[in-house]
Amino acid sequence: MSNEKELLESSKKAAGYKAVDDYLSDGLRVGIGSGSTIKYVVDRIKEKGLNVVCVPTSFQSTQLIVDAGLTLSDLSRTPSLDITIDGADEVDPDFNIIKGGGGCQLQEKVVAYASKQLVIVADYTKDVKHLGENWKKGIPIEVIPMAYVPVMKKLESMSLTPVLRMAVNKAGPVVSDNGNFIIDAKFQPPLSNIPQLAIDIKMIPGVVETGLFINMAKKVYFGQKDGSTTSR
């Protein structure tokens, strides 16, 4: 691993471990987010031997929970959660968040909404003044497949630049865990009135969910290069 990659990894680990240490204890019902930082959350839960019930937010998250030997549940059995810990692609000072780099934003938002609180864990590159500062891939938007062309046209009319997310080791588009497509709506930062933009995108028929998480997280941990964490 190059030094920069090592620093990024240790910052993810620092954020994941700190959130578990500060927020989790035996008996809690916990939403487990998705992405590379969440791996460290699951590692820490396992390391501490915490007796928690875990509700996943994706296929990847389910696998992490199962592989770690933690107790797996779902929203049918455990519809109310004490907390969800999840990653992020970017967080601005007003706690506007872009999620969905891994295409899991729909289940992530459902699980976070079922939780009393959402805690975000992220590396130092995600801590930004304006959304789009470091994250250049746009706002991930999950759409039903038959609607993707009209949704893209509508997004264009809103001064966004939509790109259908394509699979890497398969011909054709990425298919989400829910059988849908993902459009990445690129934008020129800074965005204005992000809460309204989230509503406007969500209102387009065919859109299932957006990766804009507004007013959902109250605490964010950013891992730093030296293995420490900052939070806000």
Ligand X SMILES: O=C(CO)[C@H](O)[C@H](O)COP(=O)(O)O
Nearer to ligand X among residue 24 and residue 182 (C-beta): 182
Q: Which residues within the stretch 35-94 sit at the binding site for ligand X (CB under 6 A)?
A: 35-37, 86-89
Q: Which of 7, 11, 18, 33 binds ligand X (CB under 6 A)?
A: 33
Nearer to ligand X among residue 85 and residue 160 (C-beta): 85
CA distances from 181 to 110, 156, 189 (A): 18, 17, 24
What is the pairing mode between strands 161-164 and 181-186? Answer: antiparallel
Report how far residue 35's alpha carbon sits from residue 87's, in angstroms, rounded to the nearest whole number.
6
Give me the 83-122 binding string for ligand X, x by CB under 6 A, dash otherwise: ---xxxx---------xxxxxxx--x--------------
Nearer to ligand X among residue 153 and residue 218 (C-beta): 218
Helices (H), the chain: 3-23, 38-48, 59-67, 105-113, 148-157, 194-202
Q: Which stretch binds ligand X (CB under 6 A): 31-39, 47-55, 150-158, 185-193?
A: 31-39
Nearer to ligand X among residue 35 and residue 206 (C-beta): 35
The total number of residues shown for the chain amounts to 232
Tell me the closest approach of the beta carbon of residue 35 to ligand X, in angstroms. 3
Tell me the closest approach of the beta carbon of residue 36 to ligand X, in angstroms. 3
Tell me the closest approach of the beta carbon of residue 211 to ligand X, in angstroms. 7
Report how far residue 87's alpha carbon sits from residue 73's, in angstroms, rounded to the nearest whole number.
20
Count the residues of the shown chain that bind ligand X, applying the rule CB under 6 A: 17
Tell me the closest approach of the beta carbon of residue 176 to ligand X, in angstroms. 9
108 catalytic? Reply is: yes
Of the candidates 6, 9, 47, 108, the residue annotated as catalytic is 108
User: Bridge partners of 150?
Assistant: none
CA distances from 175 to 111, 161, 182 (A): 20, 20, 7
Q: What angle do CA 42, 99, 58 make, to 5 degrees?
A: 45
CA distances from 37 to 63, 65, 87, 89, 176 (A): 15, 14, 6, 11, 20
Nearer to ligand X among residue 62 and residue 105 (C-beta): 105
Tell me which residues are annotated as active site.
Answer: 108
Sites of contact with ligand X (CB under 6 A): 33-37, 86-89, 99-105, 108
